[in-house]
């Protein structure tokens, strides 16, 4: 259960079109699957690190947070709705490079390191994982369930890898037909999923308050 939940989280946190998604699309568009997927791997390494911090942190202090479970779920749900709304309203452009780090060269290692640094220096990444894991409720591993936390983190890595591999393969296959409309559709879908996830969490919280 934790592994499957992690896969879903990995897909959701990777999908919004930001600097790393732009880098992956641009590298795959210009240099093929390997260069695009390399950027994705860099993002996965950073996301996995943050996911581990969030998962093991929540698991370790679960006994302290148990009395504030509903509050944490409500705040997490609101944050997810906010993140989703901002994602839906963002309109990235394919011809806009993802900042200075995106110009580091087309090699596999250069793409990996650039995406890793870009994701690692994003302060919203760890906050996003803390919000998601903190609002999972019963889907969060119990206190001292380190095996469960490990499975959750492994699922995040697998889900994120699946996303980046899929994006790099799709862009490589459809190089001649990519445009900004594709990015808008990806953003709209990802943002919609985040808001839906947040609404479900808030609905569950309200239900538990009324029981």
Least confident segment among 99-103, 158-162, 185-189 = 99-103
Q: Any idea what DSSP says for residue 181?
A: H
Residue 6 and residue 159 in contact, taking contact as beta carbons nearer than 8 Å: yes
Give me 2's structure tokens. Answer: 């934790």
Residue 201 and residue 73 in contact, taking contact as beta carbons nearer than 8 Å: yes
Residue of 15, 24, 21, 13 whose CA lies nearest to 47: 13
The contacts of residue 176 (CB under 8 Å, 6+ apart) are none
Q: Note the pTM of the prediction, 2 decimals.
A: 0.65
Summarised one tens digit per residue, pLDDT across range 120-152 is 766 566 667 777 776 766 667 666 677 888 898
Question: Alpha-carbon distance 130 to 126, whole Å?
Answer: 6
Better-scored residue on pLDDT, 131 or 192 = 192
Question: Alpha-carbon distance 87 to 81, whole Å?
Answer: 10
Q: Where are the domains of the chain?
A: 2-210
pLDDT of 3 strictly over 80: yes
Taking each continuous run of H as one helix and of E as one strand, the counts in the chain are 9, 0
pLDDT of 103 strictly over 60: no
Q: Report residue 178 CA to chain centroid gap.
A: 23
Quickly state the pLDDT bin for 64 (edges 50, 70, 90).
low
Give me 143's structure tokens. Answer: 């206190």
What pLDDT, on the 0 to 100 scale, is given for residue 93? 65
């Amino acid at each position: 259960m934790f592994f499957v939940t992690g896969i879903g989280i990995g897909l959701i946190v990777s999908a919004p079109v930001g600097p790393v998604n732009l880098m992956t699309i641009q590298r795959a568009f210009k240099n093929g699957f390997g260069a695009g997927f390399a950027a994705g791997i860099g993002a996965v390494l950073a996301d996995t690190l943050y996911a581990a911090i969030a998962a093991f942190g929540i698991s370790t202090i679960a006994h302290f947070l148990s009395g504030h479970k509903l509050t944490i779920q409500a705040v997490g749900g609101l944050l997810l709705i906010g993140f989703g709304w901002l994602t839906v309203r963002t309109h990235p452009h394919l011809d806009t490079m993802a900042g200075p780090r995106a110009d580091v060269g087309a090699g596999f290692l250069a793409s990996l390191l650039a995406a890793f640094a870009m994701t690692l220096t994003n302060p919203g990444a760890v906050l996003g994982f803390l919000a998601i894991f903190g609002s999972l409720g019963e889907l969060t591993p119990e206190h001292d369930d380190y095996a469960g936390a490990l499975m959750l983190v492994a699922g995040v890595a697998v889900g994120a890898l699946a996303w980046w591999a899929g994006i790099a393969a799709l862009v490589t296959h459809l190089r001649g037909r990519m445009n900004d409309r594709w990015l808008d559709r990806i953003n709209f879908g990802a943002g919609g999923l985040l808001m839906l996830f947040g609404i479900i969490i808030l609905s569950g919280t309200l239900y538990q308050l009324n029981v």
